[in-house]
Amino acid sequence: MRRYVLVRTLSILPTLIGVSVAVFLMIRLIPGTIVEQMIGTEGTYSEQSMRALRAFFGLDQPIHVQYGRWLGQVLRGDLGTSWRTGLPVLQMITSRLQVTLELTLGAMLVALAVGIPLGIVSARRENTRLDHTVRVVSLFSLSIPVFWQATMLILATSLWLDWAPAVDFVSPFTSLRANLAIIALPSLALGTAVAAVFMRMTRSTLLEVMRQDYIRTARAKGLREPAVVWGHALKNSLIPLITVVGVQVGYLLGGVVVTEEVFTLPGVGRLILWAVFQRDYPLVQGTILFVSLLFMLSNLLVDLVYAYVDPRIRYG
């Protein structure tokens, strides 16, 4: 087990390198650079200033030199400086990370708290009215586009309740109440879709597992129903569920972009989007690398739990 932990943890490094190369190339493959945007259509174009700007940003260097320089910086712990704002990339990330993390966590909590119990209930009462209602409702919640849902909520509250969600983000350490008021709605919007996924996954795997032979054996042996469900079935349902949780974290980190955009929360998702449009290479690279690292760490955690739960899984 210890060997597995070590190897699995170290395996993050090559992936991180892979991500750094991928993001480095990807942003450069998208046409347009920051230079043209700075001149714009309103500015005065000149060959000389174009060249000077490109040199200033190091865009005139060969690609491997640019990459090497950036990678060297990163390995020294310096994520660089945003071309657009002049602020350190790390500072821009950390000032917004809190929001994104809170939103992701909030959505995940909502999803787990709502999805899993509903899934269990649905599976246990398979084919009853309750089961069908839960399934239908969860399917509906999956079918509603988040940004549409969110905009309708904002509209409804402003017109009928004369209340608009606050625009300033307040840290939970400053005022927990204000913070929860801000994060509740977006967490709900983002989490309900994932809740539906969890509900369905829990239900389907639980049903499958419960039909397995060893469950029938346990029942035949006279074990009582709750012991059967909780003891055997759920534990074995956990494996695919853990996979899905891991997958959903990745999905959430992406879905967070839309939610942040609609609720205008100052999170990392929106920052990445903006950086891509500005062609602010250091900001794009640094932010995506950072978020990827976070995601990889969460995957690592999932895999380790996975391995703990199912001793048969070992690193190949």
Partner 1 sequence: MAEALRPLLRNRLVLFGTALILLVVLLAAFADLVAPYDPTEMKVADALKRPSAPHPFGTDRFGRDVLSRTIHGSRIALGVALSSIAIAFAAGTVLGLVGGYTGGWPDLVIGRVMDVLFSFPTLILAIGIAAMLGPGLNNAALAIAVVYAPLFSRVARGPVIAEREKDHVVAAQGLGAGWPRVVFRHILPNVLAPLIVQASVSLAFAILIEASLSYLGLGTQPPDPSWGTMLNEGRTYLETAPWMSIFPGLAIMVAVFGFNLLGDGLRDILDPQLRGR
Partner 2 sequence: MTDAPRPHSQISRRRFLSLAAAATAASTTARRAAAQARPPRLGGTFISAKTTEAPSLEPVLEQALGRIRLDPIFYNRLVEWSADGKLEPSLAESWTTSADGKVWTFKLRRGVKFHNGREFVADDAKYSYERVLDPKGSSGGRGYLSAIDTMETPDKYTLRVHTKQPSASLLAGMAGGWSSIIPKEVVEEKGDLRRIAVGTGPFIFQEWVPQSYLKARKNPDYWDKGKPYVDALELKVIPDEANIIAQLRTGNVHHALLEDNKNYLLVKDDKRLIALRAPRLGFDMVMINHGRKPFTDVRVRQAISLAVDRTEVLQVAASGLGSVTGPLTPAMKPWALPVETFKEWYTPNPERAKKLLADAGFPRGFKTTLKVIPTFPTMVAGAQVIAAQLKKVGVDAQIVQEEYGVWIKAIIKPSFDYDLTMNITTGDADPDSLLYRRFHSVEKQWNNDGDPEIDALLDQGKLTVDLAKRKEVYDKVQRLMVEKAIQIWTFAPDMIDITQSSVHYDQHFTTNYYGFRTAWLER
For residue 18, the partner it binds in partner 2, partner 1, none, with Cβ less than 5 to 8 A by kind, is: partner 1
Burial of residue 47, with CB atoms counted within 10 A of its CB: 0-12 exposed, 13-18 middle, 19 or more buried: exposed
For partner 1, what does the binding mask look like between residues 96 and 135, x meaning CB under 8 A?
-------------------------------x----x--x
- Piece of 30-38, 129-137, 190-198, 245-253 that binds partner 2 (CB under 8 A): 30-38
Nearer to partner 1 among residue 187 and residue 248 (C-beta): 248
Contact between 41 and partner 2 per CB under 8 A: yes
- The helix (run of H) or strand (run of E) holding residue 112 is helix 89-124
- Piece of 35-43, 108-116, 117-125, 126-134 that binds partner 2 (CB under 8 A): 35-43
Rounded Cα distance between 62 and 66, Å, is: 6
Q: Any residues with CB less than 8 A from the CB of 31 and at least 6 apart, and which?
A: none
User: What is the Cα gyration radius of the chain?
Assistant: 24
Instruction: Enter the tokens of residue 136.
Output: 């239908």
User: Using an 8 Å Cβ cutoff, are 265 and 281 in contact?
Assistant: no
Among 10, 29, 161, 220, binds partner 1 (CB under 8 A): 29
- Piece of 36-44, 105-113, 175-183, 238-246 that binds partner 2 (CB under 8 A): 36-44
Contact between 171 and partner 2 per CB under 8 A: no
Residue 178 to residues 151, 162, 233, Cα–Cα distance (Å): 21, 18, 41
For residue 92, the partner it binds in partner 2, partner 1, none, with Cβ less than 5 to 8 A by kind, is: partner 2
* Amino acid occupying residue 239: I
Q: How close are the terminal C-alpha atoms of the chain, in Å?
A: 13
For residue 113, the partner it binds in partner 2, partner 1, none, with Cβ less than 5 to 8 A by kind, is: none
Contact between 167 and partner 2 per CB under 8 A: yes
Contact between 8 and partner 1 per CB under 8 A: no
DSSP β-bridge partners for residue 88:
81
Contact between 39 and partner 2 per CB under 8 A: yes
